[in-house]
Amino acid sequence: MSTPALELAGLRKSFGRTEIIRGVDLKIAKGERHAVIGPNGAGKSTLFNLITGRFPPTSGTVRLHGHDLTGLAPFEINRMGLSRSFQITNIFPKMTVFENVRCSLLWSHGYRYSFWNMVSRSRDLTEGADRILEQINLTARRDLPAGVLSYAEQRALEIGITIAGGADVIMLDEPTAGMSHSETDYIVDLIRTVTQDKTLVMVEHDMGVVFGLADTISVLVYGEIIASGTPEAVRGDPKVQEAYLGAALEAEH
Amino acid sequence: MTDTTQKDTAIAAGSGITLGRALPWIIVSLFLLVLPWIFGSNSAITIMNQMMITVVFALSYNMLLGQGGMLSFGHAVYMGVGGFMVMHIMNLIEDYSLPVPMPLLPVFGGLFGLGLATIVGSFSTRRAGTVFAMISLGIGELIAACSIIIVAFFGGEEGIKGDRTYGLPVFGVEFLQQKEVYFVIAGWTVLATLLMYLFSRTPVGRMANAVRDNPERAEFLGYSARWVRFYSFCAAGFFAGVAGGLFAINYEILTEQNLNTVQSGVILLIAFLGGVGFFFGPIIGAVVFTLLQSVLSLQSEIWQLYVGALFVATVMFFPGGLAGVLMMHVPAWRLGKLGSLVVPYIKTVIPAMIGILGLAALMELVFHARHAAAGEDEITLFWTTFDGFSVLPWALASIACVGGIWIARATAPGLRAAWHRANTPDRRPAA
């Protein structure tokens, strides 16, 4: 068996005395589409932030293609082939849509901190950015400031930025949050096409999206993974039903 | 992942320098070449030299504020230190008759500014926002304090002086005259502006924008926000040092005033006045501010009040600065409707100007009434001299102020409607 794309071992995170992530072990194989679901406050976004280096874990390790990520900054993790989107739209609002995508291509095209290349002179960058704009269906918006796009378009742009660098592990944090049905369908199709042959890890609330996209599902409740497996297996798991039912009952009180 | 083979072929096929892109630079260069023949007086040359030095300084400041999102309260330090260094080199040239041509000196100013920026930037660029601003303020105060303590380098309160004419003559020119210095400064201004513009088009220049907009996102694109800031900071330090070198050559004296926090505040004001959102904004700011400073200060003792009011008005009503106001008209111009705005503008802007001038006249009269020496009743305002205590000027100024502003208010809705029309495309008749 080959090394998993992403491997979490004994991952824990406390904020003060509150333990948010309480020992997560998870293996995600190459090419897998993995969804992390769970009730509000289960620690899904925290888990994402631990994996991508936004917060340091209290204990435990994260391995990307077998390499330990402990102590690495987000930009170093990104350079190793992991890219993420955010729950709250996180783009460059004052720059044009095209510029947003072009910036996300720079590092992977080997430009680093160069101040002797003119970006507009690289046809490779321009074409690459235009190709991604076409993929995310924003060619018509190319020269607008990203901040004026509609919400769904900004989410699409963020997915574009996330995949542009060519990372092979893509992490999406609630990509369809706050969207209408038609917008959700559009984003789901988009995610499906742009993450072909890549490892996808996503946090999602919309069960339609989860069951439509994911090969495997993990259920996170109070910082622990209580079930992990195929959609059918997870759906039938009594622990999952209890957790979701419990959360629903709590919400009613 | 990195696709190197594809990259090599594509870069080779990149577009070259086209005439369209070079044209603005050629026009500006030619304009600067003929300018001394249009405004040939010594005072005009002095103002233009000051203007160009401020342009370089303001553009370097905007590499931080506008391009990189770093609000610095101590940028004058890099200009000042570069200037002091050039002054010392000038004195070395004089003392040891070194064969160094004077026009090369700003390079040393730049390198020294770069050196200092490298040291300070190594810790100040870790964070943007308040932390960066506070560190810049602290460093600014620190160096300003050093300028009085380290007399050997900064010359204490008198500053240090030099003589630019001891350098190696360039084609027989020894730079005795202001006009000769003008061309050195003009050459450096065009070169520095071009380099700063090109910097903004490089990967690190583009990422500076990205880090300004959203440092966290930039980190998840493989770039360390801190290093991107650091490179911008170093480049800004270099060009500030160049500006300092030009200052040293032009004025042949540098004092503590060239690097203190007042000077740092002025450059922030200039950049904001011109507009930090556009590359050319600070150029406009520098030109307008220098004009105000040199022309208005001759006319009025309370000119700083007007500059302050202008600054506040800019920040409140035109956050894009003067460049933003200009660029606001681009959509109407693209629609070919800019002409339709001329008459509404005349109807509103001219009464508004009269109102503002009336208000200014009132302020001058009040200032004169409060501060004039006893028996000195004469006041010169708008090139006319009259008795500042008679009723007529007060009445005229009040009428101009109230009337002008009243008319402007009355015609403002018309201007607003015209503005809306000019920015709405015509509906095409059905084909």
Q: Would you call A80 an interface residue with chain B, using a CB distance cutoff of 8 Å?
A: no
User: In angstroms, rounded to a whole number, what is the distance separating the alpha carbons of residues B142 and A174?
Assistant: 48
Question: Packing angle between helix A123-135 and helix A151-164, nearest 10 degrees?
Answer: 130
C-beta atoms of B222 and A79 within 8 A: yes
C-beta atoms of B203 and A161 within 8 A: no
- The Cβ of residue B208 has, within 10 Å, a number of other Cβ atoms equal to 29
Q: Taking CB atoms and an 8 Å cutoff, what residues of chain B touch A74?
A: 216, 219-220
Is residue A230 within 8 A of residue A219, CB to CB? The reply is no
C-beta atoms of B7 and A109 within 8 A: yes
Residue type, B70: M
Question: Which residues, 6+ apart, have CB-to-CB distance to B195 below 8 Å?
Answer: B239
Q: Taking CB atoms and an 8 Å cutoff, what residues of chain B touch A106?
A: 203, 206-207, 221-223
Question: Packing angle between helix B42-62 and helix B76-96, nearest 10 degrees?
Answer: 130
Reading chain A (253 residues) residue by residue, the pLDDT tens digits are: 578 899 999 999 999 888 999 999 999 999 999 999 988 888 898 999 999 998 899 999 999 999 999 889 999 999 999 999 988 888 999 999 999 999 999 998 888 888 888 888 888 899 999 999 998 889 999 999 999 999 889 999 999 999 998 899 999 998 888 888 888 888 898 899 888 889 999 998 888 888 889 999 999 988 999 989 998 888 888 888 887 766 555 555 5
B21-292: in CATH 1.10.3470:
yes
DSSP A79-99: HTTEEE--SS----TTSBHHH
Residue type, B264: S
Is residue A171 within 8 A of residue A195, CB to CB? The reply is no
Kindly tell me if the per-residue pLDDT of B429 is higher than 60. Answer: no
Q: Where are the domains of chain B?
A: 21-292, 330-422
User: In angstroms, rounded to a whole number, what is the distance separating the alpha carbons of residues B175 and B183?
Assistant: 10
Residue B145: in which H helix or E strand, if any? helix B129-149
ipTM of the complex: 0.87
Kindly tell me if the per-residue pLDDT of B153 is higher than 80. Answer: yes
User: In angstroms, rounded to a whole number, what is the distance separating the alpha carbons of residues A86 and A171?
Assistant: 9
Domains present along chain A, CATH in parentheses: 6-252 (3.40.50.300)
pLDDT for A1: 54
pLDDT for A248: 54
- What CA–CA distances, in Å, run from B106 to B57, B81, B111, B184, B349? 13, 12, 9, 10, 43
User: In angstroms, rounded to a whole number, what is the distance separating the alpha carbons of residues A54 and A75?
Assistant: 10
Residue type, A209: V
User: In angstroms, rounded to a whole number, what is the distance separating the alpha carbons of residues A205 and B11?
Assistant: 44
pLDDT for A249: 53
User: In angstroms, rounded to a whole number, what is the distance separating the alpha carbons of residues B38 and B124?
Assistant: 45
Burial group, residue B412, by CB count within 10 angstroms (0-12, 13-18, 19+): middle
| Nearest alpha carbon to residue B164 among B236, B65, B214, B94 | B94
User: In angstroms, rounded to a whole number, what is the distance separating the alpha carbons of residues B260 and B275?
Assistant: 23
pLDDT for B193: 96
C-beta atoms of B3 and A166 within 8 A: yes
Q: Would you call B216 an interface residue with chain A, using a CB distance cutoff of 8 Å?
A: yes
Sheet containing A6-15: give its strands across.
A18-28, A6-15, A59-64, A67-68
| Nearest alpha carbon to residue A35 among A168, A199, A223, A180 | A199
Q: Would you call B237 an interface residue with chain A, using a CB distance cutoff of 8 Å?
A: no
